[in-house]
A = this chain, B = another copy of it.
């Protein structure tokens, strides 16, 4: 299961948001074998535009992720910081592609 999350963050909250996202990603990747990556980037010219490449082993891994304390904490804590969120389901061109 591969997805792009496209977010726009409230510029006055960007630093707080970034810290919360980093904490959530580090916990997810460390604690959840089924979270294969959460690769987050901010656009250089528009740092409030954040894109996350989300790769889960399968939909069960994703559903379990939604129930974790670290995800629930992130979601509640950043609710007011996120101006928009678009979740785009995708198909990877080369499943199994890694990062060296």
Contacts and interface: CB of A to CB of B under 8 A. Distances in A.
Contacts of A100: 29, 33, 35-37
19 contacts: A4-B43, A4-B51, A18-B93, A22-B93, A25-B94, A25-B97, A33-B100, A36-B99, A39-B92, A40-B94, A42-B90, A42-B91, A42-B93, A43-B90, A44-B91, A50-B93, A51-B90, A55-B99, A97-B99
A71 to B, nearest CB: 16
A88 interface: yes
A79 interface: no
A53 interface: yes
Contact of A29 (B2, B37, B55, B97): B97
Chain A interface, >50% SS class: strand
Interface residues of A, number: 36
Contact of A99 (B37, B40, B41, B93): B37
